Amino acid sequence: MRPFRSEDEGLLFGVAKLAFADCDDGRTIATLERDTVFVAELAGQPAGYVALEESAETLCIEQLCVHPAHEEEGVDFQLLEWAEGYAISLGSSRLEVVVEGGNDRAVAFYRSRGFVPTAQDRLELVLPQAL
């Protein structure tokens, strides 16, 4: 796992296009340029990334994206664990994620990791120091 570098933008944009069938190009580019992004690598190549938006008490996962060739390798869990650790290191009380309607697979993934629904398209994980 490593921080985003400017030369990653094109590669990660390509990963997003492969992973999300109806990827919003503008949103993806804005997310990569604006948010805190961490990149998972396998064999020196980007296997996925997590983009995080910071606010006062909450860290929000804007995008968690895994290259389709690496979906069965646990990259999604590694990215989520990294996001959780990063949120805790910042002193965030919650880690949130917005899941687009109809993405039952993503909802099941986050729920399996302890996230609970807080709104129609939002799930949240209360972080340890907030207990």
Residue spans per domain, the chain: 2-130
Shortest CA distance to 86 belongs to which of 118, 49, 59?
Answer: 59
Q: What is the mean pLDDT of residues 98-119?
A: 90
Q: What is the mean pLDDT of residues 2-31?
A: 83
| Mean pLDDT of all residues belonging to the chain | 89
Q: Note the helical H segments in 1-130.
A: 9-19, 25-34, 75-90, 104-112
- Assess contact for 128 and 88: CB atoms under 8 A: yes
- Assess contact for 93 and 57: CB atoms under 8 A: yes
CATH architecture type of domain 2-130: 3-Layer(aba) Sandwich (3.40)
Query: Of 21 and 7, which is predicted with more confidence?
Result: 7
Q: What is the mean pLDDT of residues 29-44?
A: 90
- Assess contact for 95 and 59: CB atoms under 8 A: yes
| β-pair partners for 13 | none
